[in-house]
A = this chain, B = another copy of it.
Amino acid sequence: MALPTKVKLVEVSPRDGLQNEPHFIPTETKIALIDKLADTGLSVIEATSFVSPKWVPQLADHAEVFREIKKRPGVRYSVLVPNLQGLENAMTVGVKDIAVFGAASETFSQKNIHATRATSLLRFAEIIQRAKQNNIRVRGYVSCVLGCPYEGEVPVQSVVDMASQLFALGCDEISLGDTIGVGTPGKAVAMVRAVAAQVPMENLAVHFHDTYGQALANIYATLEQGIAVVDCSVGGLGGCPYAPGAAGNVATETVLYMLNGLGIETGVDLEKLMEVKSYINKIIK
């Protein structure tokens, strides 16, 4: 199958990468990280999460971070919102791109966002409606698409259901997340194909964790299926709290190295990205 000629990288390090860091990262460091990332040519950066500081103290400075980042023209800065209150807070600082976070696994949904999948969809419906009224773009995450830390195997149909319902509610993009990194290329391909039968391929993104070193092979295999949006995190920032010692998100530089080698356009400068990696590696661990 033909690979895409262009791929959009969605940089998630400022949110998914930092949220589990045990020590508070200074607000100015977060702002500097986002601004440096924007300078590499990345077109989408998930900047923070408008979640209660009670749940994610690391991102308690979300409003200040969003206000202070440079807003480089051509770059979309998205934020995670867990509920309507989060969306309202995000709108007060001018957010134009949000993301909601659902799960394919029932148990993970209850443990992670404290709602059944059905309840979460009601909540997302409200958020998405309000966002659309304000011309805000919405991304829907589906986590645990290839396995759940509590349930083990996750039926493909559960992924298809959650993805297609999020899409029907008005999400512009659905990111399919292998939250615990257990997927391998054959299963990733089967899952993407099943979802793409319900949601157009151009509205799908993949989000792989590198827990068992499978992320890049999974990405390559799903690019062959027509996937053209890939989530990644500079330096691989972001461990999964459910798999101690495991690697986190797939590293942006590793994905970019492959895409460059494949002649796939991203608009991102690898050398500048390596500088951002050095910058943040000096601060974290």
Contacts and interface: CB of A to CB of B under 8 A. Distances in A.
A137 B186 CA distance: 34
Interface stretch (A54-62, A124-132, A215-223): A215-223
B212 A214 contact: no
A257 interface: yes
Contacts of A221: 220
Which of A219, A220, A257 has most chain B Cβ within 10 Å? A220
Contact of A261 (B186, B219, B257): B186
Contact of A183 (B187, B217, B254, B261): B261
Nearest to A264: B186
A258 B185 contact: yes
A219 B254 CA distance: 15
B186 A263 contact: yes
A212 B216 CA distance: 11
Contacts of A262: 184-186
A257 B184 contact: yes
Contact of A214 (B3, B184, B214, B261): B261
A213 interface: yes
B185 A251 contact: no
A224 to B, nearest CB: 8
Chain copies in complex: 2
Interface residues of A, number: 22
Contacts of A213: 216, 251, 254, 257
Contacts of A184: 257-258, 260-262
A46 B189 CA distance: 34
Contacts of A220: 185, 217, 220-221
B258 A214 contact: yes
A156 B3 CA distance: 22
Nearest to A186: B262
A262 B186 CA distance: 5
Nearest to A257: B212
Nearest to A187: B261
A147 B212 CA distance: 27
Interface string A178-213: 000001111100000000000000000000000011
Contacts of A187: 261
Contact of A212 (B185, B219, B254): B254
A232 to B, nearest CB: 11
A214 B183 contact: no
Per CB-CB distance, the 9 closest pairs between chain A and chain B, nearest first, are A184-B261, A213-B254, A216-B217, A217-B220, A186-B262, A217-B217, A212-B257, A184-B258, A185-B220
